[in-house]
Amino acid sequence: MNSTKRSPHGTNKKTARIVGALFIFATITYMIGNGLIGSIVDASDYLINVYPNRAQVITGILLELINSAAVVGIAVMLFPILKKHNETIALGYVGFRVIESAILVVGVIGPLLLITLSQAYIKADAPDASYFQSLGTLAIDGHDVAFQMAMIVLSIGSLMFCYLLFQSKLTPKFISVLGLIGYASLLTSALLEIFGTNTGMTLFLPGALFEIILPIWLIVKGFNSSAIDSQSTKTSTVVPKYT
């Protein structure tokens, strides 16, 4: 009887490609989703336009929710590989990405409320604009604050992830160093935004560059197989003690 055994290197290569694809997929879905929402709600006359363009807003919300699922998928797919090097960090990374996802899900409540608010504004006879504007601003701010909170959680979890990449040599050191710089910058940006300081896009750039380079590397090259083999050898040669 012939039996086939899946190669660990083949499995790791497949995992790397899936993770890389999920990184790119998550980035694209969130950018498009947020852009669809922002193009409506960032306009000065959003109270008039949100409800008539609700299909676009809802599409943006769905894309943001897809991103929320994808970020959890990234951590879950990485866990079997990362735990061989540091199970605590591997579990922590999964936990932080789950929390990030939950915060982003809560954040879409703001745009959803804007649809109902816009409908009420349009139907009202000579509405009190200041009242509706106040509620609308609150909904938009809630969406923005949820995003910044999610970025704080993402940054903390990803700093752990990049540290483990650096320590384990699963990827070239320049990639893990770029990630450490990128997520430290993102954490700084999110904290400043929470406290009312607009930092623009400058502090986002290193992290964005990391999230482009890492997935491309994983899809093309995969993880460093020698680092995985080395850790597997260490694990398999541990001799149990009997007392």
The answer to whether residue 186 scores a pLDDT higher than 80 is: yes
Domain chopping of the chain, boundaries:
9-223
Residue 115 and residue 54 in contact, taking contact as beta carbons nearer than 8 Å: yes
Q: At what angle do helices 8-41 and 54-82 cross, to 10 degrees?
A: 150
**Residues, the chain:** 243
Helix (H, G, I), strand (E, B) or coil at 237: coil
What is the C-alpha separation between 109 and 199, in angstroms, rounded?
Answer: 25
Whole-number pLDDT of residue 126? 58
- Pick the more confident residue, 231 or 173: 173
The model's pTM is 0.86
pLDDT band for position 243 (cuts 50, 70, 90)? very low
Comparing C-alpha atoms, which of 131, 65, 72, 132 is closest to residue 97? 72
* CA-derived radius of gyration, the chain: 22
Sign of the Cα pseudo-torsion (75, 80, 86, 87, in order): positive
Q: Both tokens of residue 54? A: 């609700």
Q: Can you read off the two tokens belonging to residue 155?
A: 């940054």
Widest pairwise Cα distance in the chain? 84
Q: Is 240 buried (19+), middle (13-18) or exposed (0-12) by CB count in 10 A?
A: exposed
Answer with the residue of higher pLDDT: 10 or 182: 182
Read off the amino acid at residue 225. S
Residue 176 contacts residue 218 (beta carbons within 8 Å): no
CA dist., res. 34 & res. 192, Å (int): 21
